[in-house]
Structure 1
Amino acid sequence: MNKNIVILSIFILTTFLSCDHYLDIEPKGVRLLETVEDYDLWLNSYYGFYPYEMNLLSDLSDKLDVSDPPVDVNSRVYTWQAQFDEDISSSTAPFWRTHYQFIYTLNAVIKNIDGASGGTTEEKIRLKSEALLGRGFEYLHLVNLYGKVYNPSTANQDLAVPFVTGIDVTDEIPNRSTVQEIYDHIIADITEALPNLPQDNSDNRFRGSIAAAYSVLARTYLYMKNYELAAINAQLAIDNSLDPILDYTEVLNMPEFPRLVKRPGTIYAKYGSTGIEFPTLDFLNSFEANDLRRTMNYTQPWSGPTPQRGEILFIHYGSWPISNAYPNWGTSVSEMRLILAETAARANNLEQAIEELHLLREKRFKPEDYVKYESLNQEDVLQRVLLERKFEFAFNGLRWYDMRRLASEGRMPEVYRYGADNTVISTLSPDSNRYTLQIPIQVMSFHPDWEQNP
């Protein structure tokens, strides 16, 4: 590929096919990116479709058709195998491939927008800033998949992923950066982007904004366990979004759930791919009666006996009669409220933590069904916040990241996978190496000098 030619794939996500390179990109059906308008349209393609296999890693997911021993990719993901696809010639690598494809898209803007024709200097700076925000968001996923949980005492030694900034797939690939280096890059990208991002993205929540940048920083600092900065940025995200939490009681009177592109309460929208997903019975039973999140996103129990495994289904587009309730895999006001609640609980500021919980929970029950949560016990309040994160973000790819950070502080129990006959076929212990994914062997085959994760 000529370094001076940037290619725009007509089918951004569906025509990236395999090639002999770790980025796994072979663009098909292309035209040149030449104008500012071209780059603007290019960024419109950055709306997600993250792999739903992220949900298969979660302790909230059940899978009755898991093979034993696990053979297919989904069964291997679900049982936390070291490698999800053992065919070295395969182009699967569902997590690695997806995030680096998005990074390729974003790097094209960062590297070449200044040379585009048309548009103003301000427009070029804005588009570059949106791409920097997106790149930070993608690396936040990657460092929490392939790097250890952030530990300030070891982050400078713990390996993560290569930080790729180029768009020429023939360039030499950098070595794996450390966890600290990737987090530093994430914060640097978003900090550089912040002054030049638009204030309002309410016409297209998939695009960047000031609130979106603060929200990604809030999540970043939460994963770094820097709770003070997480809280500061979560509040800034709320202050700049000017959006309330989406009120589910109001949705009941709507013909369909608000579309994600303009959904109130969404700060930075991203789609996830859909699959047939079953929640565990333990998770279903943890919902309070009349919780509208249970009503709107899960098929209802059969009348009569208690539901059995596989009888309740998570519905990505919403349970009848609510439609279009696709979960947001990006950031939201509700996530920022829960970050504020968690950071307050960890600081033993229980009054604030409970108030933040109230601001969310009152929008998830009909008024006649709502009971405000109250407690004077710090650990109970923190556990309640973590439970609300389960309810709110059960199948939008976030649960695995929570499991990782909670396991690192001794707050995760062992997680079991059951076969169709209810026998245990796999166990994930709190100290398991599987909480950090191995680099796919398809990638390692091109970089045999890289150190593999345990």
Structure 2
Amino acid sequence: MKIHIYSRLIPMLLLAFLLSSCKKYLDIEPKGVQLLKTVHDYDQWLNSYEATTDLPESINLLADNTDLTNVDLPLDQVNERVFTWQAQFAEDQFAGEAVIWKDFYREIYYYNTVINKIDEAIDGTVAQKRSLKAEALLGRAYAYLYLVNLYGEPFAQAAAASDLAVPFVTSHDLNNATPPRKSVKEIYEFILGDLTAAIPDLPADNAKNRFRGSKAAGYAVLARTYQYMGNYIKAAESAQLALAVGPKAIMDFTTMTSAQQIGDLTVRPDVFYARVSRAYNQDKVPTIDFLKSFDKTDLRLKFYYSNLRDYSFPTRGVVKYRSQGVLGGTATISWGPTVAEMELIIAESAARANDIPTALDHLDALRKKRFPSDSYQKYISANQQEVLQKIMQERSFEFPYNGMRWIDMRRLNAEGKMPAVTRLDKNNNVIATLPPGDPRYTLQIPIQVMVFNPSWTQNP
């Protein structure tokens, strides 16, 4: 029996479910891509829930700043297995879900549909169609940037051509054969190709809806891509281009009394490309070590972390991170790039080039917006490694639970700078350890996918 491409990549996902959002935006019964006739149809397809707010929250469970306080052996919940870095997050190869993996390939299906079919729209101008295709290329590149940084080794020039990553799917045809796993180098080349092709045709501005693409968003994702590749010169150049054609100002917490004043992510002025996870509004539990690493005057603590009390943090699980702000509202942190991220990319790139003054200035551009002005002091150091460490720490404060910390941990681990990370059960006993250099920094392909693709080589 022939098994179509997305069944091989997204087990347990029926086509009816994959296309279930059609009814939401076209207000008719879903019948697949045949419903997409006009440019407006394709435009709304890119507004769908699955294309904008479907990133896997589970990525945050891998990171060293996340805690689960009720874990007990045996590990029978998917979240517990992710949290403790088990080789497989769901053990049943036929009934289990391909955790994390499936979410990205579901998104890629939506983007490939636009890329491959938009030219067949019965109306609209050539420019409109090229613009929508460019947005889909941007979205696809963004999804693959996560996939290569989860299922492939961190980019290393000498090994990238031989290190295996993920299959690069460009088809929306459910009956096409599943391509083989590509190398890390090839996936990055595809990502760079998509972004380079997209940028000229992306809209000049997305201020009315940050979930849609723009030229600045394209440059910002390009900056993140080069950073993850270790090409810090091009990362800084791309970040500067994003700032030149898009938002430039960091949201200033010193002028606010709470996160309620930050505003809706859809139109937030410091966001290049808004993305969130499916469970973005769920509380997260920070580790006590992470909480204690904050300066007590940091306004990010005040705005996003509940039950701070006297800042001594004696008990696990008391403090919660609330992504919409402690007092509620629309202050959700974007998983996509922001002005703050571009400033930190430029700072890191300068620090790695030993241009310490430039690094400190760009670090300061963010930090002075995160501490009360009457007590703020600029961070000063002449030591390159100390400055780099401070920049990485600042990234953890600014982007704590938006899928970025795990990738930063992988980068640090590849440089021999990541300490061992431990997990505790509900009784504070160590039940898992992730030592430096551990192969689990690269996730295994889910067995629910491997069973349909037995010729693939599994990650260690």
- TM-score if structure 2 supplies the norm length? 0.92
Structure 2: distance between partners of 1:384 and 1:323: 30
Corresponding position: 1:22 with 2:9: yes
What's the CA shift string for 1:397-454, capped at 9, x where partnerless? Answer: 1000000011001010000101112111100011111000000000001011111001
Structure 2: distance between partners of 1:313 and 1:48: 22
8 Å contact from structure 1 (residues 150, 224) kept in 2? yes
1:417 partner letter: R
| CA drift at 1:95 | 1.2
What residue is the counterpart of 1:398 in the other structure? 404
Corresponding position: 1:330 with 2:336: yes
Matches of residues 186-335 of structure 1 in structure 2 within 5 Å?
186-252=191-257, 255-272=260-277, 273-274=279-280, 275-302=282-309, 306-320=313-327, 323-335=329-341
Corresponding position: 1:138 with 2:125: no
Change (3 A) 1:364 1:33: same
Matches of residues 426-441 of structure 1 in structure 2 within 5 Å?
426-441=432-447
Structure 1: distance between partners of 2:160 and 2:179: 18
Structure 2: distance between partners of 1:156 and 1:323: 46
8 Å contact from structure 1 (residues 23, 169) kept in 2? no
Corresponding position: 1:74 with 2:61: no
1:338 partner letter: L
What's the CA shift string for 1:41-74, capped at 9, x where partnerless? Answer: 0111221231211110000011111232322100
Look up the SS of the partner of 1:417 in the other structure.
Answer: strand
8 Å contact from structure 2 (residues 202, 215) kept in 1? yes
1:30 partner letter: P
Structure 1: distance between partners of 2:7 and 2:247: 47
What's the CA shift string for 1:305-343, capped at 9, x where partnerless? Answer: 6431111011111102x5222111111010000000111
**Residue number among 97, 102, 121 corresponding to 1:97 in the alignment:** 102
What residue is the counterpart of 2:25 in the other structure? none
What residue is the counterpart of 1:88 in the other structure? 93
What's the CA shift string for 1:352-382, capped at 9, x where partnerless? Answer: 0000011101111121121111111111111
1:79 partner letter: T
Corresponding position: 1:175 with 2:162: no
Corresponding position: 1:107 with 2:112: yes
**Residue number among 367, 381, 387 corresponding to 1:381 in the alignment:** 387
> Which 5+ residue runs of structure 2 have no aligned equivalent?
21-28
> Which 5+ residue runs of structure 1 have no aligned equivalent?
1-17
8 Å contact from structure 2 (residues 10, 98) kept in 1? no
Structure 2: distance between partners of 1:177 and 1:107: 18
Corresponding position: 1:452 with 2:455: no
Change (3 A) 1:91 1:306: closer
Structure 1 stretch displaced more, 120-129 or 374-383: 374-383
Change (3 A) 1:253 1:79: closer
Give aligned-pair identity as a percent: 48
Matches of residues 46-57 of structure 1 in structure 2 within 5 Å?
46-57=51-62
8 Å contact from structure 2 (residues 422, 434) kept in 1? yes
